[in-house]
Amino acid sequence: MEAVHDHSHDHHVPTGIMRYVTTTNHKDIGSMYLWFSFAMFLVGGVMALVIRAELFQPGLQVVEPEFFNQMTTLHGLIMVFGAIMPAFVGFANWQIPMMIGAPDMAFPRMNNWSFWLLPPAGILLMGSLLAPGGAGGVGWTMYAPLTIQQGMGMDMMIFAIHILGMSSIMGSINIITTILNMRAPGMTMMKMPLFVWTWLITAYLLVASMPVLAGAVTMTLTDRHFGTHFFNAAGGGDPVLYQHIFWFFGHPEVYIIAIPAFGVISEVIPTFSRKPLFGYPSMVYATASIAILSFLVWAHHMYTVGMPVEAQLYYMFATMLIAIPTGVKVFNWVATMWKGSMSFETPMLFAQGFLFLFTIGGFTGLVLAVTPIDIQLHDTYYVVAHFHYVMVAGALFAAFAGVYYWLPKWIGKMYDERLGKIHFWLSLIFFNITFFVQHFLGLAGMPRRIPDYALQFADWNMVSSIGAFGFGLSQVFFLYILLKAIRSGEKAPEQPWDGATTLEWTHLPTPAPYHSFETPPDLRN
Amino acid sequence: MSSQSGGYYLPEPSRWPIVGSIGLFFLAFGAVLTMNSVSGGWYVVLVGAIVMTYMLFGWFGTVIGESESGKYNKQVDVSFRWSMSWFIFSEVMFFAAFFGALYYMRVLSVPWLSDAETGSLLWDGFVAGWPTDGPGVDSKFTPMGAWGLPAINTALLLTSGVTITVAHWALKEGKRALLNWFMFLTIALGVLFLGLQVLEYVHGYRDLGLTLESGAYGATFYMLTGFHGFHVTLGTIMLIVIWLRGVRGHFKPEAHFGFEGVAWYWHFVDVVWLGLFIFVYWL
Amino acid sequence: MTVFTTIQSTLGGSMKSSFGLRALGIIMAFLPTMATAEWNLNFTPSVTLLGEEIHAIHNLVMWIIVGISIVVFGAMFWSILKHRKSVGHKASNFHENTTIEIIWTVIPVVILIAMAFPATRLLLATRDSSASDMTIKATGYQWRWGYEYLDEGLKFYSTLATPRDQIDGGAEKEETYLLEVDNKVVVPVGKKVRILTTSNDVIHAWSVPGLAVKQDAIPGFIRDIAFKAETIGTYRGQCYELCGKEHGFMPIVVEVVSEEDYQTWMQAKLAESGAPSFDPDKEYAVAELVAAGEQVYNANCIACHQEGGLGMPPTFPAIKGGKIATGSMEGHLDIILNGSDKNPMMAAWGPILSDYDIAAVIAYQRNEINSSGDIIQPSEISAARAD
Ligand code: HEA
Ligand code: HEA
Ligand code: CUA
Ligand SMILES: [Cu+2]
């Protein structure tokens, strides 16, 4: 097979900004995803800092309560849909074609559209702050009927979500098709790198769950403007119905965030342990089980809505089950390290940070899964602590690991190893200062989404806020490391990591050429 | 899996996606403005719609051109098949959300409203049942019967499923005239279906007092049939495009995914209708 | 400001020390600043038996987790220390072992089953609200709680009592900052109290950590929970479901008292609510109504319409110069009594406020915020209610 280009006159390719606007190259698109996501991470991070600044001390000092709620809402939405998800789609774009020996993604033009749908969505999302009455102050979960009371900003957010959904669905279809149809000869499914597997499964989750979210926000829209009664008891509807639909999407969503992170970690750990991944087939099966289970446990976010006790029991058992496949993954990673020959460059450090802290976050998830305990902890900072462990120390750390790991392949230059290590240690320490103490706040009963709190919560909040600013600054430092590497990094050796075994390292030069694998490698023996 | 003859087609840089994004932005923003009765909102919607139409013509035109000039090989064809299947799967999930809402209200929330303290303290006198507009809405509607227009519509759609299959068979046998006629027939059935659907809505609003605001029943009835009708509209437009392409002599007996994709979509719309007929109208 | 000077002096004073020490220093510097320092590490102590059981099961789960952690992180750090390249460890090449994979799948299953049994038993117990001794209906409003003792027919509202200037930093915060209400829920000790929750507008959640209960209050539906407090005392909770801008400001206070005290309280409350505290036929003077109206306004309306009636357009319209507020008295009374048709945020205050309070708040709005100069008497309001 040989890739053909329309006329193969490369001088027809637009330059400057238009190159990126019109590009059909998976690497360009991957880079745009990654930069977009990092920008969104900073924006969402600044919103987190507004939250933490207000919570530094009891009393209202910095912002008005409704603006605080808008910050919480946008912080959640932007971090989830704007920062973490696009980051991993960026990885997918860069890596999947290279890792399976394909010339590009299956639908390069649609790939471009998936990315270029993000800016309009971002404009609607953030522009909602400027709408009369501001953005929706409803939490990222957008529970009815609070959403009914909001102003025009809420509608902008709803349409932003529709557009984000389109982007995700198209992106996922592209990824699935690429993986199923564009592998090099001999790259059987069970030989695919685990990162590719995790994305196949994630894309399936996305295609199955994003349309459901679209349905939920559409019902919200018609309840707001067209007089339907989906979430209004007066008409026979139920506000809790919204929650069921939302979490049917929302729970798979949290694994959409986690599973590609598992994929990155499953590449990094074997490389730096210089040892093949332990239990490859069980990793694949475990990931698939997590994906299937994730559609069966959604109501563990709704233990206090007063559903029948039988339903609570079912959701408790089902939720606890997820610990098993996740445990298998954790054990496999540890077994991969066991008797390896490990070295601790920055990607490996972040992978270890991930392993340690994600597992802790998983444990607190298990605490929350136990219904009687969750009734005490629901909607407290314990939940906030739990999900920042799995999403910041989990997904975000994995994304850092991935960037440091693949950066040499992408730009052909090395980052500064010493600075990278500093970035890791600062992140690790400040992360824990910020979020570990939130467990205590939650246990003591501090509700989430409040701009002001009782005096008994003052001390830990102050600690957490200090940690947050430290963590934020460490991420600005990361930006510096990146820019330094791009501008004046040392030239990367062909093989910066001696343990790497996937195609992009073994079959392509460093940096990877603009068009890789125009002729697929033959891997049949 | 790799194709031996020729390579995988990779398109040149394209401006259609960004045009689409701009169009969609205007559509969405215009809709927001209109819904909040901001004057001028309609114009923004209109701009969005024009840009989107331009994009769709341009983009699909390009794809059709590429297809007809033989740039797509077997492997590309397989890609199309996978993507269309997954797209339809995503549509299934979208409808699932609304069917789920219907199920939830009918089986759970409406009965709860007349149950125990919820019934006695909040909605005294409400008797659960279906169809209902709930305890707090007083719209006095009559539910839509299943055996009038809806039954005819079911027959129409099922027949259109047959006619498109005949057309497909004709295409594979190289019987172009038959293909064109049966495509035309399919489209006619689709349009007829839509017309009857409009009549049904008029009937609902004018004679039955059944509106979007008629509580749980009204909301699920109009949203489910409405989104289905919207999909039929899309499907009909796609059929028209395919028909015109057929008339122009596009498609080969052995390679005609454009046709098949639309046929799949049409069958999907058909199946959703069966679900609607059973759960919305009949039971 | 002291906080910031503390940071500066701490930073300046420890320039030479290592970074870790400095971070620690910053944190330590805040310790003495909080006179009421309570470095809570665990649950609020519970005064119900079920609450204690919840804490017990939490401890159980935590110990299991500690155990698993020791094994998992033990192996992880062991290999980090021993199997590293820098100590010359050579990589083995194994990547499969079915036996161990089965073991580490089965052991967690067993552990989870062991956890599931007590959890199931406890869940069933916490959801059992049968055989209760009394029932109180708690209705969430934006942003206060309404209570109704169903057996006695006693009804009252319970609103945040922390003064605004403590929130805005003008006054020193008292110990029960944000956790104080004007009317507490009073229940007898040792009795199983069933709380029915519902809501008037959006979802709220009724929860008191010390009583180990939390239940969402869902508009249009009644849900229930029950607790039995074993110890006399005052227990404080909050609304736990985001319900709009004052979500952080709708506390719950439950006072558990002896049976006798409860009866005394109930009789007093019933007497108070039976006899209106105002004279329904009296002609009140403007000044008196305006003064009372200011109180009503500050307790109920200020959250949205803001100080001086300036509002927060476009979400919350200004009273000052407002079309309705300066328009006809009928229109003004109507929107307060029956709420707005257009916007559910403006609730019907008729059921919440007394005739006197409504007359007073109207007088305040029309004479202090605006200056139409007219007032309406409580007697006219009861007449307006009648039709
Ligand atoms: C990356 C995202 C992510 C991930 C991976 C998880 C993973 C898990 N989560 Fe979490 N969760 C969130 C993101 C995530 N969560 C978010 C965002 C929310 C809040 C949303 C909101 O309300 O805004 C939330 C909220 C949330 C709740 C609701 C809390 C509440 O609101 O009251 C619950 C309750 O059951 C829960 C449970 C779990 C469980 C059981 C897991 C499990 O998958 C964890 C499994 C992992 C382990 C258990 C550790 C490793 C296992 C072993 C070492 C094996 C041995 C272990 C045992 C046998 C115990 N989560
Ligand atoms: C993956 C997703 C993700 C990520 C990465 C984060 C990152 C962070 N989150 Fe967030 N968070 C969520 C997802 C995420 N969060 C979600 C879903 C919610 C729930 C929302 C809801 O309730 O609806 C939430 C809610 C939430 C709350 C609770 C709010 C509330 O209940 O009211 C808090 C409070 O501390 C918080 C803090 C933080 C902090 C300090 C960071 C930090 O990691 C951020 C660090 C980054 C930066 C700070 C930016 C970089 C710095 C600059 C650009 C320069 C400026 C810097 C300085 C001057 C120091 N988050
Ligand atoms: Cu009421 Cu939060
Ligand atoms: Cu979940």
**Predicted confidence (pLDDT) per residue in C240-299, tens digit:** 999 998 999 999 999 999 999 999 999 988 887 766 667 777 788 888 888 888 888 887
- Alpha carbon distance A403, A407 (integer Å): 5
Q: Which residue has the higher pLDDT, C180 or C87?
A: C180
Residue A80 · residue A104 · CB < 8 Å: no
Find the mean pLDDT for residues A152-164. 94
Residue A197 · residue A284 · CB < 8 Å: yes
Query: Searching chain A, which residue's CA lies closest to the CA of residue B73?
Result: A1
pLDDT for res A1: 40
Residue C229 · residue C236 · CB < 8 Å: no
Q: Does pLDDT of C22 surpass 60?
A: no
- A139 burial class (0-12, 13-18, 19+ CB within 10 angstroms)? buried
pLDDT for res C274: 66
Three-state SS for A330? Answer: helix
- Alpha carbon distance C12, B282 (integer Å): 78
Which ligand number lies closest to the CA of residue A400? 2
Three-state SS for C218? Answer: coil
Mutation to probe ligand 1, out of A257, A304, A329, A387 (largest number of atoms < 8 A from CB): A387
Maximum average pLDDT range among A44-53, B106-115, B239-248: A44-53
Contact with chain C for residue A227, Cβ under 8 A: no
pLDDT tens string C213-228: 999 999 999 999 999 9
Residue C4 · residue C12 · CB < 8 Å: no
- Alpha carbon distance C191, A57 (integer Å): 38
Q: Does pLDDT of B274 surpass 90?
A: yes
Q: Tell me the two tokens of residue A107.
A: 């639908």
User: Can you say how many angstroms the Cα of residue C276 is from the centroid of all Cα atoms in its chain?
Assistant: 29
pLDDT for res C386: 72
pLDDT for res A484: 94
Q: Which atom of ligand 1 is nearest to the CA of A331?
A: 53
A18 phi-psi bin (left φ>0, alpha ψ -120 to 50, beta other): alpha
pLDDT for res C3: 37
Burial B81-116, CB ≥16 within 10 A → b, else e: bbbbebbbbbbbbbbbbbbbbbebbbebbbbbbbee
The sign one gets for the Cα dihedral C61, C62, C67, C72 is positive
- Chain C residues with CB-CB distance to B136 below 8 A: 220
Identify the CA nearest to A380 among candidates A317, A465, A432, A304.
A304
Contact with chain C for residue A120, Cβ under 8 A: no
Q: Where are the CATH 1.20.120.80 domain residues in chain B?
A: 73-282
Within 10 angstroms of residue C66's Cβ, the number of other Cβ atoms is 10
- The DSSP letter of residue C319 is S
- Alpha carbon distance C328, C335 (integer Å): 11
Write the DSSP string, A259-285: HHHHHHHHHHHHHHHTSPPTTHHHHHH
Say if the Cβ atoms of C54 and A379 lie within 8 Å: no
Subunits with 3+ Cβ pairs within 8 Å of C are A, B
Three-state SS for A75? Answer: helix
pLDDT class of A13 with cuts at 50, 70, 90 = low
Say if the Cβ atoms of B109 and A236 lie within 8 Å: yes
Pairing of strands C134-141, B9-10: unpaired
Three-state SS for A231? Answer: coil
- Alpha carbon distance C105, B81 (integer Å): 38
- Alpha carbon distance A186, A444 (integer Å): 57
Say if the Cβ atoms of A226 and B36 lie within 8 Å: no
pLDDT for res C24: 47
Residue C291 · residue C357 · CB < 8 Å: no
What letter represents residue B283's amino acid? Answer: L
- Alpha carbon distance B68, B9 (integer Å): 13
Q: Tell me the two tokens of residue A159.
A: 């349409």
Which ligand number lies closest to the CA of residue A303? 1
Q: Where are the CATH 1.10.287.70 domain residues in chain B?
A: 1-72
pLDDT class of B105 with cuts at 50, 70, 90 = very high
pLDDT class of B116 with cuts at 50, 70, 90 = confident
Contact with chain A for residue B223, Cβ under 8 A: yes
Q: Which residues line ligand 2 (CB under 6 A)?
A: A 42, 45-46, 48-49, 51-52, 72-73, 75-76, 79-80, 84, 139-141, 384, 388, 391-392, 395-396, 434, 448-449, 468-469, 471-473, 475-476
Task: Tell whether ligand 3 has an atom less than 6 A from the beta carbon of residue C239.
Answer: yes
Query: Searching chain B, which residue's CA lies closest to the CA of residue C223?
Result: B118
Q: Between the CA atoms of A354, A355, A361 and A363, what dihedral angle is there, to the nearest 10 degrees?
A: 180
Say which of A5, A172, A219 has its CB closest to residue B12.
A5
The alpha carbon of C364 and the centre of ligand 2 are apart by a number of angstroms equal to 43
The alpha carbon of A521 and the centre of ligand 4 are apart by a number of angstroms equal to 41
Q: Which atom of ligand 3 is nearest to the CA of C244?
A: 2
CATH of domain B73-282: 1.20.120.80
Contact with chain C for residue B37, Cβ under 8 A: no
Q: B1-72: which CATH topology?
A: Helix Hairpins (1.10.287)
Starting at the edge strand found earlier in the chain, the sheet holding C154-158 runs C154-158, C144-149, C134-141, C192-199, C223-228
Identify the CA nearest to C245 among candidates C94, C168, C142.
C142
Q: Is the ipTM of this complex over 0.95?
A: no
Mean pLDDT for chain A overall: 92
pLDDT for res C276: 64
pLDDT tens string C83-116: 988 888 888 888 888 899 999 999 999 999 999 9
- Alpha carbon distance C177, A453 (integer Å): 8
Identify the CA nearest to B23 among candidates B50, B41, B62.
B50
Residue A496 preceded by cis peptide, ω within 30: no
* Whole-number CA gyration radius for chain B: 23
3-state SS of chain B is: CCCCCCCCEECCCCCHHHHHHHHHHHHHHHHHHHHCCCCCHHHHHHHHHHHHHHHHHHHHHHHHHHHHCCCCCHHHHHHHHHHHHHHHHHHHHHHHHHHHHHHHHHHHHHHHHCCHHHHHHHCCCCCCCCCCCCCCCCCCCCCCCCCCHHHHHHHHHHHHHHHHHHHHHHHHHCCHHHHHHHHHHHHHHHHHHHHHHHHHHHHHHHHHCCCCCCHHHHHHHHHHHHHHHHHHHHHHHHHHHHHHHHHCCCCECCECHHHHHHHHHHHHHHHHHHHHHHHHHHC
Distance from CA of B177 to the nearest CA of A (A): 33
Residue A212 · residue B89 · CB < 8 Å: no
pLDDT tens string C33-81: 444 445 677 788 888 888 899 999 999 999 999 999 999 999 999 999 9
Which ligand number lies closest to the CA of residue A65? 2
Q: Does pLDDT of B250 surpass 90?
A: no
Three-state SS for A357? Answer: helix
Residue A414 · residue A489 · CB < 8 Å: yes
Pairing of strands C154-158, C144-149: antiparallel
- The DSSP letter of residue A308 is -
